[in-house]
Amino acid sequence: MREFKILAVVVFFTLVVYIGVEPFAHSQMHAHVEGHDFVYDGTADIEEANTRVENTKEALKKAQDELAKIQGIDDAPQEDIVKAQEAIKKQEGALVKAEETVKRKSLFWNNVASIAQLDANVSNGEASFGTCMACHNGAGINMGGVIPPSLDHVGSLYDRNYLIALLKDPAMASNVDHKYANTMMHPMGSVMAMVTSDQQIADIVEYMMQNKVGELEPKAAFEEACVRCHAVRYAKITQLGDTPEFKEEKDALAYKIKVLDEQALVKAYMGKLPPDLSMMIRARSPHYMETFVENPQTQLPGTSMPRVGLTKENYEKVKTYLEEVGDPSKPAREAIGPWVILFFVVFAVLAYLWKKSQWKDLH
Ligand code: HEC
Ligand code: HEC
């Protein structure tokens, strides 16, 4: 029975480390970010903007205290006073801006909610959808930084509310408006000049929800949503899509140059080349990955990666694909697992019986 006690102690401490200590250490190293279940109604954006207002207020208060402190000193140097006054002005300016952002975002998302309520006319939507083809034409031509993605499954892949927001103002929808002084400058910004009425937005989105749909395989979902920016070396995927097989080395090299040219454009647009995603799912926790894709700003404030607007279902597909790529031997390992456990159980029983038979005569 002593063996069982030792086993129980070992199991106990292993469980403590596994369930208690490791997650605790993890939570201390990464700030926890609440997900919002792939709902795109602006709540998270407005909260984020409100937090910035609060932080700016605190910084302003600090700057004011600093000035009071300096003025309390009898012969404080004039230049310190001027510096402290300038710091206050700067924070006051930031506060006005932060408060404006809250207002702008609240108005924007209220507008999105009201567009979602409009009665849509699908055939008008079909006619207006033609304007999208100016860029989303499948020709593989870079437009302002990336190759516009295929819209063949746009109605299934993306959230409906997100699509409304995207057509109203792409930079606001993808939560990168801080990058643009005027959000018309976003590579898809000119859609704001082409699709000018709320009714037109409602019509186009309804048309897409009804006609541009279809069940996507995990790989296809990933390619439509992420591959204009991210390569996956392990699967021979680049920003140009699947790498074709070439017989001639010359052709392979020519293709490689095309890839490098495309990557240079993506880099110029994003400020850096987006990382290869082959191993990313193993490097980041599932929660991090999910909340990052849902709203990159929450995990990396100021990042240039736009919010993509996937539905939950399609995020799961993207995740499935990245898991397959990052860990190609997983299915084989999982198939073997139960047999390994069975082996150990049988082995343990045999070992126990053997021990009993050996000790039987000694007692
Ligand atoms: C001026 C060119 C242009 C026009 C016109 C245009 N788009 Fe885009 N669209 C882009 C580019 C470029 C991107 C990629 C932006 C990025 O990844 O930052 C994009 C991205 C998208 C995405 C993916 C967004 C995301 O966050 O993942 C959707 C969906 C989309 N466009 C739909 C439309 C629809 C619908 C229309 C027509 C009403 C349209 N686009 C018109 C250039 C355009
Ligand atoms: C318009 C370009 C663009 C698209 C589309 C895009 N990303 Fe990114 N992504 C970036 C950039 C740029 C970075 C680097 C961010 C940084 O370091 O600030 C990045 C970084 C990442 C990271 C690493 C985050 C980290 O902690 O370092 C992950 C994970 C990621 N992207 C996943 C995805 C997935 C999944 C998709 C598709 C659903 C996607 N991205 C679509 C541009 C993009």
228 Cβ contact list (under 8 Å, min separation 6): 146, 147, 148, 149, 239, 266
Burial (CB < 10 A; 0-12, 13-18, 19+), residue 357, is exposed
Mean pLDDT along residues 12-35: 80
Amino acid (1-letter code) at residue 74: D
Mean pLDDT along residues 72-94: 92
pLDDT digits (tens, 9 = 90+) for 36-70: 899 999 999 999 999 999 999 999 999 999 999 99
Q: Which of 179, 188, 230, 293 to mutate to test ligand 1, by most ligand atoms within 8 A of the CB atom? A: 188
Q: Whose CA is nearest to atom 19 of ligand 1?
A: 148
Cβ atoms 84, 63 nearer than 8 A: yes
pLDDT digits (tens, 9 = 90+) for 150-178: 999 999 999 999 999 999 999 999 999 99
Mean pLDDT along residues 224-248: 96
Atom number in ligand 1 closest to CA 187: 12
How far, CA to CA in Å, does 270 sit from each of 145, 211, 236? Answer: 8, 32, 22
pLDDT digits (tens, 9 = 90+) for 250-276: 999 999 999 999 999 999 999 999 999
Which ligand is in closest contact with the Cα of 186? 1
Rounded Cα–Cα distance for residues 132 and 129 (Å): 6
Atom number in ligand 2 closest to CA 322: 35
Percent of the chain topping pLDDT 90:
79
State the pLDDT at residue 330. Answer: 78
Exposure pattern of 215-241 as b/e (b: 16+ CB <10 Å)? ebebbbbbbbbbbbbbbbeebebbbbe
pLDDT digits (tens, 9 = 90+) for 308-344: 999 999 999 999 999 999 887 877 888 888 999 999 9
User: Nearest-CA neighbor of 56 among 26, 95, 20?
Assistant: 95
What tokens appear for 143 in the block?
A: 């437009």
Q: Which of 238, 305, 316, 317 to mutate to test ligand 2, by most ligand atoms within 8 A of the CB atom? A: 305
Q: Whose CA is nearest to atom 6 of ligand 2?
A: 226
Mean pLDDT along residues 232-243: 96
Amino acid (1-letter code) at residue 30: H
State the pLDDT at residue 31. Answer: 67
Cβ atoms 36, 43 nearer than 8 A: yes
Does 30 score more than 70 pLDDT? Answer: no
pLDDT digits (tens, 9 = 90+) for 140-150: 999 999 999 99
What tokens appear for 327 in the block?
A: 């860990």
Q: Whose CA is nearest to atom 11 of ligand 1?
A: 148
What tokens appear for 270 in the block?
A: 């994003």
144 Cβ contact list (under 8 Å, min separation 6): 187, 188, 269
What tokens appear for 66 in the block?
A: 């600093």
What tokens appear for 324 in the block?
A: 């397959």
Atom number in ligand 2 closest to CA 302: 18
Which ligand is in closest contact with the Cα of 274? 2
Amino acid (1-letter code) at residue 237: I
276 Cβ contact list (under 8 Å, min separation 6): 230, 231, 232, 233
Amino acid (1-letter code) at residue 316: E
Q: Whose CA is nearest to atom 17 of ligand 2?
A: 303
Mean pLDDT along residues 247-252: 96
State the pLDDT at residue 363. Answer: 63
State the pLDDT at residue 285. Answer: 86
Does 29 score more than 80 pLDDT? Answer: no
Q: Which residue has the higher pLDDT, 125 or 301?
A: 125
Rounded to the nearest angstrom, the gap between the alpha carbon of residue 28 and the centroid of all alpha carbons in its chain is: 22
Indicate the range of 30-39, 99-108, 122-131 predicted with least confidence: 30-39
How far, CA to CA in Å, does 208 sit from each of 125, 140, 164, 181? Answer: 8, 21, 11, 30
Rounded Cα–Cα distance for residues 91 and 97 (Å): 10
d(CA 170, ligand 2 centre) in Å: 17
d(CA 309, ligand 2 centre) in Å: 13
Q: For ligand 1, is residue 309 a contact (CB within 6 Å)?
A: yes
Mean pLDDT taken over the chain:
93
Q: Which residue has the higher pLDDT, 27 or 37?
A: 37
Rounded Cα–Cα distance for residues 315 and 237 (Å): 19
